[in-house]
Amino acid sequence: MGKQEKIVSMFNDIAGTYDVANRVLSMGIDKSWRNKACNLAFNFYGKKDIGKIVDVACGTGDMILFWKKVANENKINLQNIVGVDPSVGMMEVGKKKLPEVEFIEAGAADMPLESDSTDIISISYGIRNVVQRQEAFDEFARVLKKDGLVVISEFTKNKKEKLLDHVTDFYMNKVLPVLGGMISKNKEAYTYLPNSIDEFLTTENLCKELKLAGLEPIHVKAFSMNISTLIIARKL
């Protein structure tokens, strides 16, 4: 089994408890991160009519709920939103929450979507699970309309400069695997999470890779003691 298949099968395994675990582990803060990402993206895009948003690595559909809610609050006419994920288990949970949404089984680097067809592509806490990351960014650029946006939220690896950075590190490496393991009965999955960030890119590298794909970062901001970083990039 390749690395990508292993990651997918792990997510299939924890799908049923994933939402609860996520809320507990982020102490609910991920809600405000997601809200900010949607609001900022709509502001940057500046259109009241949006044909299509694609949420990649959509999992159980969490981010789709936020896109719909924030579009409503901003009186934006969002015609279509699609979820894409290689984990069928996660999307089964999503379909129960969002029966009206189309979910497509596919990886980020190879999506069965038309070129130049999408206004916004989002990937929240999922890019670290994509093994072929540069190919995925190339694919995002293909699928997006000109001036379309990529909205990435991710746990990023930053230099440990302050005491708080070490507190964050302790939480991610020591507390998170135990708590996540208790909720999901799968400690391995939640040990994988901090390890995947440890092997994961810096914000600078991510921005470089986006530029290589013709996606220009226009907003980069870290939240909550640098735990989560938001990058918004525009297709040139």
CA–CA dist 110, 104 (Å, integer): 11
Q: What percent of the chain has pLDDT over 70?
A: 70
Element containing residue 165 per DSSP (H, E) = helix 163-170
| Residue 77: CB atoms within 10 Å | 11
pLDDT digits (tens, 9 = 90+) for 71-93: 999 999 999 999 999 988 889 98
Q: Sketch the domain layout of the chain as residue ranges.
A: 3-235
| 85 is an annotated ligand-binding site residue | yes
- Return the CATH superfamily for domain 3-235: Vaccinia Virus protein VP39 (3.40.50.150)
Under 8 Å CB-to-CB from 18, ≥6 apart: which residues?
A: 11, 59, 60, 90, 93, 184
Residue 94: both structure tokens together? 């999503």
| 116 is an annotated ligand-binding site residue | no
* Prediction pTM value: 0.79
| 13 is an annotated ligand-binding site residue | no
Under 8 Å CB-to-CB from 66, ≥6 apart: which residues?
A: 31, 34, 35, 37, 38
The reported pLDDT for the residue numbered 128 is: 80
